[in-house]
Amino acid sequence: MKTVKQIGHFLKNEPGSLSEVSDLLGANGINILAIYFKAEGKEGWLQYVPNDPERTVNVMKSAGYEVEVTDVLACVVPHHPGGLNAVLKPLKNAGINVENIYACFGTIGSVTVAILGVENVMEAARILSNNWIRLLGEELYNM
């Protein structure tokens, strides 16, 4: 099954917090491929897909962050009006809830890649593959 690792942790909701994480990762040769931050009050939840998840966990733990690592799907989204529904509709029809979705920075070649957090990663991967949606695994880390 093709999945990628998402790193998640709490972050203070104040100027410079995101920049500090970016500086820390960049100084350690880690590239953020996709990122999502949701602030609520004085803190928020940051989640991202780095190009080197194992190193990221080590760096972030060494810096005092408590990290959560989860498997997520990186899927190629058709780039035309309604293209996102090619990914979402099969999941809806299978009764699989999308818990979060965010896009990778830029595009990879001529495709757009979306990161999906879902209730049942294995079943969602099977459903999407059966509906001709291209899933990316570790090859995403090197694109």
- Supply the pLDDT for residue 108: 59
Contact of 96 with 120, CB cutoff 8 Å = yes
Just give the CATH number of 4-70: 3.30.2130.10
- Supply the pLDDT for residue 107: 60
Half-sphere exposure of 3 (CA within 13 A, CB side): 18
Rounded alpha-carbon distances, angstroms, from residue 35 to 47, 64, 94, 102: 6, 20, 27, 7
Q: Return the exposure string of 93-119: e unless at least 16 CB atoms fall within 10 Å of the residue's CB, then b.
A: eeebebeebbebeeebeeebbbbbbbe
- Supply the pLDDT for residue 78: 87
Q: What is the mean pLDDT of each run of 10 residues along the chain (143 residues)?
A: 96 96 98 95 96 98 97 93 94 97 78 92 97 94 84
Identify the bridge partners of residue 73 per DSSP, sorted by sequence position. 116
Spell out the residues 6+ positions from residue 30 whose beta carbon is closer than 8 angstroms to its own. Answer: 50, 51, 52, 55, 56, 59
Contact of 34 with 50, CB cutoff 8 Å = no
Domain with CATH 3.30.2130.10 in the chain: 4-70
This prediction has a pTM of: 0.92
CATH architecture of 72-142: 2-Layer Sandwich (3.30)
Give me the numbers of helices (H) and strands (E) for the chain, helices first please.
4, 7
Query: What phi, psi does 95 have (nearest 5°)?
Result: 75, 25
- Supply the pLDDT for residue 1: 81
Domain with CATH 3.30.70.260 in the chain: 72-142
